[in-house]
Chains A and B, each alone.
Chain A
């Protein structure tokens, strides 16, 4: 990893978990957000740099149709969320990419939009994929109401009352985004062009800013509608209740291929998190402040687990594991953990690994990192990636060296049988309608000949077989001349040699695959909570629940 030479704690390397443990879907599907998550990084920066926020435009009618502009004004640059509210009939409301209309649509504008810009955006943003934005825009997104809760909150506030706290907690958000498009999509700015800005360097910062400002918009909109209905009698949302609301997100398979298509980025995210855990474990002692911070984080994790609901059988079992595991951990920490002993964090982690289910282990990881900002926050600078530089194949590598890399880093792939119905049960493809990534059943569905190259394990095994009998001294450049079909995976094998966490070490076309495991891993890096699968490939989550609003940021202590 590019940041390794600058590590202030070289001894941490000995404590790092390896890819065979970390890069399994059974563990990636138990990922929890940490202080390195992208929304946490963004909030820390906004606070540290004293960003200011205002809402120069608010023009909504009694039905919630209109436009608003929310500005985030930084030391060097300003970004504006441009929000459009629509009157959406219930029968049009769908979270799927196949939808053509939404309750609200958004774009993050680079700077302060003029009226001319707003008119241009008003003609395009509400159309989403069917519209066109420009390099002045950094994201394009939309949201749908959480219908029952939204209605309830408006009704109560209009009557001068607060909404039912239980109902708020159960859903957790007033609106959920159903897609947040970034880098270059539909004409938006190329990430390469804005990534040089410090505030945009970390992954998904434009998207996170857009969603955070969207959260403020959702509250402003319910309060506006309550005022329209209740006039002077209407109440504003109680700040504590408001704080507990996030923005929901509804997402499906479209997100899963990302982790496979961006191996260097995946490595850098995983490596940063693993290095953070290793640094915590490598400490000789535990400072009282860190112990206190850890206990607070553990208590918060237990509270979160208690409030986290899902009806999905897989997630229900995981939540049970999580709650029990965290209870056991809290009891152990209180009664048995020798925090004054040698390497107490490492001792704690070893206990966690031995006695807790994976779901709780990963939650403890987040809690252990939490009080160690000074030690780990610098790692956030290592979570972006120059993916283009990693794309070049080293043609001078010998076939013998390539074979060794396959044996060392793809043993999980070579051990798998792909000629059985279970081993290659699925295939990933792009649907003709709306160009949505999907997962098909090979035995019963048409289209496997147009499969996307996400079957990494099978490709690695095929490359290994093709190398059989080839002269070990031959440079891979010559091998590729005769075998261009192996170019895709050969590049990945070379990438994995330098980036140990670049590859998910599981069969992505196997019968046992749960795509939601891939989604959970990615969403945890975003900072998502309340992971709630609605099927094996569709999930709802919450972002920014419990986080400050723009108006809170300046007066609160950094987190």
Chain B
């Protein structure tokens, strides 16, 4: 038997090719890369999976989800959230992944988003909270409005993607205090998208720079193991494939 009939002796992954306007990733690729990168950055698997999902969600909303996730992962170490009714006070800049997950988990509890508003102190890259607040809205069955800096976004109750008038301004603030409320129906700032889910792929933002890809990939590669010869051989058939 030939253990390695065709070993490319290649380690790691190759970047997707640049098509002239940056690299173009599909949503599942952003999600998979994001998950591995978050795990590589030290988050638990259960958190990392949701970090990857959130990056894909942001891309679906027309935002550079992979780049935002990288910003979040680079900003470590950050303070964990301290949920309390009405006001989540911070001991330092808060991690938007842990805070987002806590907001989602606490939906319907006294500390969480619900009928009374929640003020979350200084969160790094508050845009990253959006996917989790969207889930909280779906869990509550009520739209939730997020406001930070000069941004106001409504996350619909049916899990639909929000309509973002100006994605760049949503993306911009590096750190802000965020208020989450159930909006007055008469004052909803953004029209609620009509479809329950945007399945057309329109508005998807999959372009990332080579530098972003490389940094996320470097983190992702921290989750991989250099193979032993034994495991490499055992992963395949015990005979030649030339039969």
Contacts and interface: CB of A to CB of B under 8 A. Distances in A.
Contacts of B128: none
Interface stretch (B141-149, B174-182, B223-231): B223-231
Contacts of A193: 199-201
A96 B221 contact: no
Given A190-B26, A481-B83, A96 B227 contact: no
B112 A190 contact: no
Contacts of B227: 431-433, 438
Given A94-B241, A187-B25, A446-B225, A477 B4 contact: no
Nearest to A427: B225
B109 interface: yes
Interface string A433-454: 1111011110011110010010
Contact of A477 (B5, B102, B224): B102
Size category of the A interface is 35 or more
A144 B243 CA distance: 10
B234 interface: yes
B14 interface: yes
Contacts of A441: 231
A250 B81 CA distance: 48
Interface string B188-224: 0000000000011100100000000000000001111
A497 interface: no
Contact of B112 (A90, A439, A477): A477
B166 interface: no
Contact of B235 (A96, A132, A134): A96
B46 A484 contact: yes
Contacts of A438: 225, 227, 231-232, 234-235
B167 interface: no
A395 B104 contact: yes
Interface residues of B, number: 69
Residue from the set A192, A486, A534 with the largest chain B CB neighbour count within 10 Å: A192
Given A94-B241, A488-B45, A488-B49, A99 B6 contact: yes
Given A430-B225, A440-B228, A481-B83, A190 B201 contact: yes
Contact of A394 (B6, B8, B139, B159): B139
Contact of A480 (B14, B105, B107, B139): B105
B225 A252 contact: no
B243 A148 contact: yes
Interface in B126-149: 135, 138-139
B28 A93 contact: no
B231 to A, nearest CB: 5
B80 interface: yes
Contacts of A184: 26-29
A76 interface: no
A476 B235 contact: no
Interface in A470-524: 475-478, 480-481, 484-491
A432 B50 CA distance: 23
A1 B98 CA distance: 31
Given A433-B10, A488-B45, A93 B224 contact: no
Interface in B5-19: 5-14, 16-17, 19
A489 B139 CA distance: 20
A391 to B, nearest CB: 7
Contact of B105 (A98, A393, A436): A393
A193 B234 CA distance: 37
A353 interface: no
A531 interface: no
Contact of A431 (B29, B105, B231): B231
Contact of B104 (A95, A130, A253, A392): A392
Interface in B55-98: 80-81, 83, 98
A553 to B, nearest CB: 29
Among A188, A477, A490: residue with most chain B CB under 10 A: A477
A477 B109 contact: yes
A183 interface: yes
Contacts of B47: 484, 487
A392 B27 CA distance: 19
Contacts of B231: 431, 438-441, 445
A147 B5 CA distance: 15
B173 interface: no
A537 B235 contact: yes
A100 interface: yes
A490 B224 CA distance: 24
Nearest to A123: B17
Contacts of A98: 4, 6-8
B24 interface: yes
B28 A187 contact: no
A186 B26 CA distance: 8
B125 interface: no
Interface in A147-187: 147-148, 183-187
Contacts of A191: 28
A252 B241 CA distance: 13
B16 A132 contact: yes
Given A135-B26, A148-B243, A190-B27, A445 B81 contact: no
B24 A91 contact: no
Contact of A391 (B53, B222, B243): B53
A99 B224 CA distance: 19
Contact of A395 (B4, B6, B109, B236): B109
Contact of B243 (A146, A444, A475): A146
B236 A484 contact: no
A95 B237 contact: yes
A314 interface: no
Nearest to A254: B235
B108 interface: yes
Contacts of B243: 146-148
A92 interface: yes
A430 B33 CA distance: 13
A130 B14 CA distance: 7
A431 B46 contact: no
A85 to B, nearest CB: 18
A118 interface: no
A219 interface: no
Given A147-B243, A481-B102, A484-B43, 14 more contacts: A130-B14, A193-B200, A396-B109, A432-B226, A438-B234, A446-B228, A450-B222, A450-B223, A453-B45, A475-B106, A475-B109, A477-B102, A488-B49, A534-B238
24 contacts: A100-B6, A135-B201, A183-B28, A190-B27, A190-B201, A193-B199, A196-B199, A250-B237, A392-B135, A392-B138, A395-B104, A430-B223, A433-B12, A438-B232, A439-B235, A445-B228, A477-B83, A481-B102, A484-B47, A485-B46, A487-B45, A488-B45, A488-B49, A534-B239
Interface of B: 4-14, 16-17, 19, 24-29, 43-47, 49-50, 53, 80-81, 83, 98, 101-102, 104-109, 112, 135, 138-139, 159, 199-201, 204, 221-228, 230-232, 234-239, 241-243
Q: 4 closest pairs, A vs B, by CB?
A: A487-B46, A184-B28, A395-B105, A447-B225
